[in-house]
Amino acid sequence: MASSGEASVSMDEGLRNELSKQGVFTVKLQDLYNWGRKSSVWPLQFGLACCAIEMIATTMSRYDLARFGAEVFRPSPRQADLMIVAGTVTKKMAPQVVRLFNQMPEPKYVIAMGACAISGGPFKQGYNVLKGIDRYLPVDVHIPGCPPRPEALIEAFMTLQRKIDAQPLVGPDRPRYLDPNAPAEFPVPEYGEHDLEPSYNPEVWQPPKLVRAG
């Protein structure tokens, strides 16, 4: 059985179809592994502001995130795979959010939910609000909205599932947790005299270079 996505060792499509009719299913180890991972993503149970209310609504019976295998919100980072940053990240809160992410075991993912978590939102020009959690954490999916509707969170979750499904186990495109040289922890910012130090992690985020007319 092939463990990589290489075409050279993949099975003939006709033979696979023929076998499946007989009740024999063949699958690549990578697909089986990723199917298992994406079907049981346990989010960390924490919310920062009003987006958390929408996140809670998403898990309840009407929107029912359990259909996607993510109904188990863990109150401990040691048992969680996914961090949903739901709400405004103040500069006082940011070190704790990064520390919680560091305490989660790999493989781990981040969804930045709502205008505040992706950019600071309506508080962007305030002195006390972080202008997006992606300044310190590797965010996998951004959801705009203030707050985003539960459907948007489900869409983000499905996007994350597609991303997990496509992750190869070997090769240069393999995810962070399979690369021994990739960072497992992200530096926790310190409280400075005027601002957080550093104000962003340059390995994770760099200000985009915009071309301005005029």
User: Which residues form the interface with other proteins (CB under 8 A)?
Assistant: 92, 125, 127-128, 131, 191-195, 199-200, 207-210, 212
Residue 177 or 191: the one with the smaller Cβ distance to other proteins is 191
Residue 127 dihedral angles phi and psi, to the nearest 5° = -80, -15
Nearest distance, CB of residue 126 and other proteins, angstroms? 8
Nearest distance, CB of residue 93 and other proteins, angstroms? 10
CA pair distance 49, 147, nearest whole angstrom: 10
CA pair distance 123, 121, nearest whole angstrom: 5
The answer to whether the peptide bond before residue 198 is cis (omega within 30 degrees of 0) is yes
Nearest distance, CB of residue 131 and other proteins, angstroms? 6
Nearest distance, CB of residue 166 and other proteins, angstroms? 28
Rg (CA), the chain: 20
Alpha-helical runs (H) found in the chain: 13-21, 29-38, 51-59, 94-103, 114-119, 150-165
